[in-house]
Structure 1
Amino acid sequence: MRAVVTRVSSASVAIDGVTTGAIGQGFLVLLGVGPEDTKAQAEKLADKVCGLRVFSDEAGKMNRNLEAVGGSLLVVSQFTLYADIKSRRPGFTKAAPPSVAIPLYEAFMDLCRDRGFHVEHGEFGADMAVSSVNDGPVTIWMDTDTM
C-alpha cells in the first residue's frame, strides 16, 4: 500500500459539487492499493499513519501525533500512486483492481477508526475535487513495501 500523508489545518472532498467529507486539523491521506497488498499491510500503514509524530509541541518541535492534537483523517482513494511513468502517458496496471482495492481501502479506514480517530472519506472510483490547507507544509510518502 502507498500513501501520501499531508498535515492539514483543514481538508475536504467533493463529488459533483457536494462535499462528502471534511476535517479540520489532521491528515489528508491519499491512499493507493497494489494488487498484492493484504490486510496486514493495511494494519501496518494504519499504525504508522496514526502514530506519526509531525505536529508541533510547545517547543515548536514535531513531536506530537494525531491523538495528541485531537486530529482527524480524510482518506481519499488514489490509484494513481501506482502509476507507471515510463512514457509520457502514465499507465495504471500496477494498481489493484477494485475487487482488491475497495476492501483494503475500507479496512484501512476501519483500522484508523478502531484506534479512536474520526475518519472522513471520498468515494472510491469517483471523480473528486480535493481541497486542503497544508500545514507546514508537511507531506510524507509511505510505502508498506519499504517500511
Structure 2
Amino acid sequence: MRAVLQRVAECEVRVAGEVVGSIGAGLCILLGVETGDTEADVKQLADKCVLLRIFDDAEGKMNLSVIDAGGSVLVVSQFTLLADCAKGRRPSYVKAAPPELAEGLYEKFVGEIAARGIPVARGKFRADMQVHLVNSGPVTIVVDTRHDLFV
C-alpha cells in the first residue's frame, strides 16, 4: 500500500459538485492499494499514518501525531499512486489492485483509523473526485508498506 499524507488546515472532496467529505485541520491521505496487499498492510499503514509526528507542538517543532493534535483524517482512494512510468510515456497501472480488492482494503483502512477514535471522512471510491485542500507547512509525506521499514 502506498499513501501520500498531506498535513492540511482544511480539506474537502467533491463529486459532481457535491461535497462528499470534508475536514478541518488534520491529514488528507491519498491511498493506493497494490496487488498483493493484505489486512496486515492496512493495520501497519494506518498505525504509521496516525502516529507519525508531523504536527507542531507548542514550540513549533513537528512533535505531535494527528491524534495528539486532535486532528481529523480524510482518506481518498487513488490507484494512480501505483503508476509505473519506467517505460514509454503512458503510465502502467498493472501494480494497482483490482477494484474489488482495493475497495475492501480501502474501507478497512478507513475503519482502522476510525477505530482509533479519529474523526474520519472519505472520498467516493471509483468516482471522479475533486480534492480541495490547504496544505499546512507544506508537509507532504509518502509512506509505502513495500519500501518503508515499519517499526
| Interval containing the TM-score (normalised by the shorter chain) | over 0.9
Q: Which residue of 1 aligns with 2:45?
A: 45
How far did residue 69 of structure 1 move? Answer: 1.4
Local SS of the residue matching 1:68: coil
Q: Which residue of 1 aligns with 2:76?
A: 76
Local SS of the residue matching 1:66: coil
Q: Which residue of 2 aligns with 1:11?
A: 11
1:1-147 superposed matches below 5 A: 1-85=1-85, 86-147=87-148
How far did residue 136 of structure 1 move? Answer: 0.2
Letter in 1 for 2:136: D
How far did residue 103 of structure 1 move? Answer: 0.6
Q: Percent identity?
A: 52
Letter in 2 for 1:52: L
Cα RMSD after superposing both structures: 0.7
Local SS of the residue matching 1:35: coil
Q: Counterparts of 2:23 and 2:78 in 1: how far apart (Å)?
A: 18
Q: Counterparts of 1:90 and 1:125 in 2: how far apart (Å)?
A: 18
Letter in 2 for 1:17: G
Q: Counterparts of 1:31 and 1:3 in 2: how far apart (Å)?
A: 5
How far did residue 94 of structure 1 move? Answer: 1.2
Q: Counterparts of 2:68 and 2:125 in 1: how far apart (Å)?
A: 29
Q: Counterparts of 1:88 and 1:11 in 2: how far apart (Å)?
A: 31
Q: Counterparts of 1:16 and 1:43 in 2: how far apart (Å)?
A: 32
Q: Counterparts of 2:59 and 2:4 in 1: how far apart (Å)?
A: 26
Q: Structure 2 length as normaliser, TM-score?
A: 0.95
Letter in 1 for 2:62: M
Q: Counterparts of 2:95 and 2:55 in 1: how far apart (Å)?
A: 33
How far did residue 13 of structure 1 move? Answer: 0.2
- Aligned length, in residue pairs: 147
* Cα deviation digits, residues 23-45 of structure 1 (max 9, x gap): 00000000000010000000000
How far did residue 3 of structure 1 move? Answer: 0.2
* Cα deviation digits, residues 73-121 of structure 1 (max 9, x gap): 0100000011111221112111000111011000000000001111101
Give the gaps of 5 or more residues in structure 2.
none
Q: Counterparts of 1:98 and 1:5 in 2: how far apart (Å)?
A: 22
Runs of 4+ more than 2 Å apart: none
Local SS of the residue matching 1:74: strand
Letter in 1 for 2:125: F
